[in-house]
Amino acid sequence: MASELPATTPEPPPLAGVLETVLYYTAPLEARVDRFYRNVLGMRPIGRKPGQFLFFRAGRSVFLLFETDRAREQESPPPHGSRGPGHTCFQVPTHSYGAWKAHLTAHEVPVEGETEWPGGGRSFYFRDPAGNALEIADRDIWPD
Protein backbone atom coordinates (compact mmCIF):
# COMPACT_ATOMS: atom_id res chain seq x y z
CA MET A 1 0.00 0.00 0.00
CA ALA A 2 1.31 3.45 -0.88
CA SER A 3 2.41 5.62 2.01
CA GLU A 4 0.72 8.95 2.64
CA LEU A 5 2.53 11.89 1.06
CA PRO A 6 3.75 14.77 3.22
CA ALA A 7 1.63 17.95 3.14
CA THR A 8 4.13 19.73 0.88
CA THR A 9 5.88 17.88 -1.89
CA PRO A 10 7.77 19.07 -4.96
CA GLU A 11 5.89 19.13 -8.25
CA PRO A 12 6.17 15.81 -10.10
CA PRO A 13 7.88 15.63 -13.50
CA PRO A 14 5.36 15.79 -16.38
CA LEU A 15 3.67 12.71 -17.78
CA ALA A 16 3.75 12.33 -21.58
CA GLY A 17 0.49 10.35 -21.78
CA VAL A 18 -0.90 6.86 -21.24
CA LEU A 19 1.25 4.26 -22.96
CA GLU A 20 -0.83 1.17 -22.32
CA THR A 21 -4.26 0.14 -21.12
CA VAL A 22 -5.03 -3.26 -19.59
CA LEU A 23 -8.23 -5.29 -19.48
CA TYR A 24 -8.74 -8.90 -18.41
CA TYR A 25 -10.40 -12.09 -19.68
CA THR A 26 -10.85 -15.64 -18.40
CA ALA A 27 -9.04 -18.55 -20.06
CA PRO A 28 -12.09 -20.12 -21.76
CA LEU A 29 -12.75 -16.84 -23.60
CA GLU A 30 -9.23 -16.27 -24.95
CA ALA A 31 -9.89 -17.27 -28.58
CA ARG A 32 -13.10 -15.22 -28.77
CA VAL A 33 -11.41 -12.19 -27.19
CA ASP A 34 -8.46 -12.49 -29.60
CA ARG A 35 -10.76 -12.67 -32.64
CA PHE A 36 -12.85 -9.74 -31.39
CA TYR A 37 -9.92 -7.35 -31.01
CA ARG A 38 -8.29 -8.50 -34.27
CA ASN A 39 -11.31 -8.88 -36.54
CA VAL A 40 -13.99 -6.60 -35.11
CA LEU A 41 -11.89 -3.73 -33.75
CA GLY A 42 -9.06 -4.21 -36.26
CA MET A 43 -6.23 -3.99 -33.77
CA ARG A 44 -2.79 -5.14 -34.84
CA PRO A 45 -1.45 -7.99 -32.68
CA ILE A 46 2.03 -7.39 -31.27
CA GLY A 47 2.36 -10.25 -28.79
CA ARG A 48 0.65 -13.35 -27.51
CA LYS A 49 1.35 -16.05 -24.98
CA PRO A 50 -1.51 -18.58 -24.96
CA GLY A 51 -3.18 -18.83 -21.58
CA GLN A 52 -1.50 -15.63 -20.38
CA PHE A 53 -1.88 -12.55 -22.54
CA LEU A 54 -2.84 -10.89 -25.83
CA PHE A 55 -1.11 -7.62 -26.81
CA PHE A 56 -2.31 -5.22 -29.53
CA ARG A 57 -1.59 -1.81 -31.03
CA ALA A 58 -4.46 0.69 -30.99
CA GLY A 59 -3.21 3.67 -32.96
CA ARG A 60 -0.13 4.89 -31.11
CA SER A 61 -1.15 3.18 -27.86
CA VAL A 62 -0.70 -0.36 -26.61
CA PHE A 63 -3.76 -2.35 -25.57
CA LEU A 64 -3.04 -5.34 -23.31
CA LEU A 65 -5.36 -8.16 -22.33
CA PHE A 66 -4.30 -10.53 -19.57
CA GLU A 67 -5.83 -13.79 -18.45
CA THR A 68 -7.09 -12.73 -15.06
CA ASP A 69 -5.93 -15.67 -12.90
CA ARG A 70 -2.44 -15.84 -14.44
CA ALA A 71 -1.94 -12.07 -14.07
CA ARG A 72 -2.63 -12.32 -10.34
CA GLU A 73 -0.06 -15.12 -9.94
CA GLN A 74 2.83 -13.81 -12.05
CA GLU A 75 6.08 -12.61 -10.52
CA SER A 76 7.21 -10.23 -13.24
CA PRO A 77 5.80 -7.74 -13.90
CA PRO A 78 4.24 -7.53 -10.43
CA PRO A 79 0.89 -9.32 -10.04
CA HIS A 80 -2.17 -7.29 -11.05
CA GLY A 81 -5.81 -7.76 -11.93
CA SER A 82 -9.34 -6.64 -11.32
CA ARG A 83 -12.64 -8.24 -10.50
CA GLY A 84 -15.60 -7.68 -12.76
CA PRO A 85 -15.66 -5.95 -16.11
CA GLY A 86 -13.22 -3.17 -16.88
CA HIS A 87 -13.77 -0.14 -19.07
CA THR A 88 -11.86 1.78 -21.70
CA CYS A 89 -12.78 4.41 -24.26
CA PHE A 90 -11.40 4.66 -27.79
CA GLN A 91 -11.39 7.96 -29.64
CA VAL A 92 -12.23 7.98 -33.35
CA PRO A 93 -12.41 10.83 -35.88
CA THR A 94 -15.80 12.54 -35.77
CA HIS A 95 -16.53 11.59 -39.39
CA SER A 96 -16.16 7.84 -38.64
CA TYR A 97 -18.36 7.73 -35.52
CA GLY A 98 -21.47 6.54 -37.41
CA ALA A 99 -19.41 4.09 -39.46
CA TRP A 100 -18.16 2.50 -36.21
CA LYS A 101 -21.71 2.01 -34.97
CA ALA A 102 -22.68 0.42 -38.28
CA HIS A 103 -19.54 -1.75 -38.28
CA LEU A 104 -20.27 -3.12 -34.81
CA THR A 105 -23.93 -3.73 -35.70
CA ALA A 106 -22.80 -5.66 -38.80
CA HIS A 107 -20.70 -7.85 -36.47
CA GLU A 108 -23.72 -8.36 -34.19
CA VAL A 109 -22.16 -6.35 -31.36
CA PRO A 110 -25.03 -4.53 -29.63
CA VAL A 111 -24.68 -0.87 -28.66
CA GLU A 112 -25.77 -0.61 -25.01
CA GLY A 113 -26.15 3.14 -24.78
CA GLU A 114 -25.14 6.47 -26.20
CA THR A 115 -24.33 9.78 -24.52
CA GLU A 116 -24.23 13.38 -25.73
CA TRP A 117 -21.67 15.08 -23.48
CA PRO A 118 -22.39 18.56 -22.02
CA GLY A 119 -19.05 19.97 -23.22
CA GLY A 120 -19.57 18.59 -26.73
CA GLY A 121 -18.96 15.22 -28.27
CA ARG A 122 -20.76 11.94 -28.05
CA SER A 123 -19.92 8.36 -27.27
CA PHE A 124 -21.50 4.94 -27.33
CA TYR A 125 -20.94 1.77 -25.32
CA PHE A 126 -20.63 -1.93 -26.13
CA ARG A 127 -18.96 -5.03 -24.67
CA ASP A 128 -16.17 -7.38 -25.65
CA PRO A 129 -16.64 -11.18 -25.29
CA ALA A 130 -15.14 -11.03 -21.75
CA GLY A 131 -17.81 -8.53 -20.66
CA ASN A 132 -15.53 -5.48 -20.54
CA ALA A 133 -17.37 -2.22 -21.23
CA LEU A 134 -15.92 -0.47 -24.26
CA GLU A 135 -16.72 3.02 -25.45
CA ILE A 136 -16.13 4.92 -28.67
CA ALA A 137 -16.04 8.73 -28.51
CA ASP A 138 -16.02 11.07 -31.48
CA ARG A 139 -13.56 13.50 -29.83
CA ASP A 140 -11.86 14.26 -26.55
CA ILE A 141 -14.85 14.51 -24.23
CA TRP A 142 -12.89 15.64 -21.17
CA PRO A 143 -12.48 19.34 -20.37
CA ASP A 144 -8.95 20.65 -19.81
> What gap in Å lies between CA 28 and CA 51, rounded to an integer?
9
> Which pTM value belongs to this model?
0.88
pLDDT digits (tens, 9 = 90+) for 34-50: 999 999 999 999 999 99
Is 111 in contact with 125 (CB distance < 8 Å)?
yes
Q: Under CATH, domain 20-137 is a member of which superfamily?
A: 2,3-Dihydroxybiphenyl 1,2-Dioxygenase, domain 1 (3.10.180.10)
pLDDT digits (tens, 9 = 90+) for 71-127: 888 777 787 888 889 999 999 999 999 999 999 999 999 999 999 999 999 999 999
* Res 1 pLDDT > 60: no
> What gap in Å lies between CA 120 and CA 5, rounded to an integer?
36
